[in-house]
Amino acid sequence: MNATPRRTVLVTGSTSGIGEAIATAFARDGAEVIVNGRDTQRTKNAAERIRAAAGDGEVRAVAGDVSTTAGVRAVTDAVPDVDVLVNNAGIFDAKPAFEITDEEWIRYFETNVLSGIRLTRHYGPGMVQRGWGRVVFISSESGINIPKEMIHYGATKTTQLAVARGFAQEVAGTGVTVNTVLPGPTLTPGVRVFIAERVGDGISFEEAERRFIAEERPTSLLGRLIRPEEIANLVHYVGSDAASATTGAALRVDGGVVSSIIP
């Protein structure tokens, strides 16, 4: 029986939160993991944490701002080929709809959408040629439930669904799959700050979390913030051999926030 070959996995935006949890999951499984972030030292620090958590896994730090053409080139020059690409890099914040400027709209699309397009365009053909590959876009339930306080974020997450489906159709029948994973509200460093600013008001974070879910995400069936490792579990599966029949799909790991029985 042939052993599964060692995969090379690139996770963009993996210096903290969901991205770091995803990178850790693949490293623990024995993959060669590429940790990516904009800041060189922060990327190195994250790689060291992941390496320590994974034991013997091979973990490399490759800095590059994938929201720019130059940053993508820096990453692809350092890592010409990967077997699994996780397009996780993204930004979010709250802003009244009528105050979002053209520049902010462009920045959101460059970071949340074009980063994944550029990297998929680079790595996808090699995956097709080798007859195996996994591309995963980390979208959000906000791509379905557009939050009125950050429609620029929600719009980019909706766009990712269309982009991933289009790429999946392009690589149909090649052994390469392309999917999106839609997390719900997740306890990351950025979300911790976001919640503290919206409902904190001098209370404990535990109480702020409870209020945020009750007041701003009341459809959650989980009744709490999701933990990054819970997102990583699904992404790890989608990036594995076991998910060979899952492609062109939008897979929710949202704690039931989306009030729909249709994925």
Q: What is the token pair recorded at 251? A: 């897979």
| Cα 188 from Cα 241, distance rounded (Å) | 28
Residues 108 and 219 in one domain: no
Residues 209 and 81 in one domain: no
Residues 78 and 149 in one domain: yes
Residue 260 lies in a domain: no
The CATH number linked to 66 is 3.40.50.720
Residue the block writes with tokens 């306890």: 187
Residues 6+ apart with CB under 8 A from 206: none
pLDDT in tens, the chain (263 residues): 456 789 999 999 999 999 999 999 999 999 999 999 999 999 999 999 999 999 867 999 999 999 999 999 999 999 999 999 999 999 999 999 999 999 999 999 999 999 999 999 999 999 999 999 999 999 999 999 999 999 999 999 999 999 999 999 999 999 999 999 999 999 999 899 889 888 877 899 899 999 999 998 999 999 999 999 999 999 999 999 999 999 999 999 999 999 988 87
Residues 163 and 147 in one domain: yes
153 catalytically annotated:
yes
| Cα 233 from Cα 259, distance rounded (Å) | 22
Residue 33 lies in a domain: yes
Nearest residue to 141 via CA among 201, 87, 183, 193: 183
CB 191 within 8 A of CB 231: no
Q: Of the residues 108, 123, 153, 237, which is catalytic?
A: 153
Residues 182 and 237 in one domain: yes
Number of domains into which the chain is organized: 2
What is the residue type of 76? T
Residue 258 lies in a domain: no
- Domain range holding 101? 8-186+227-252
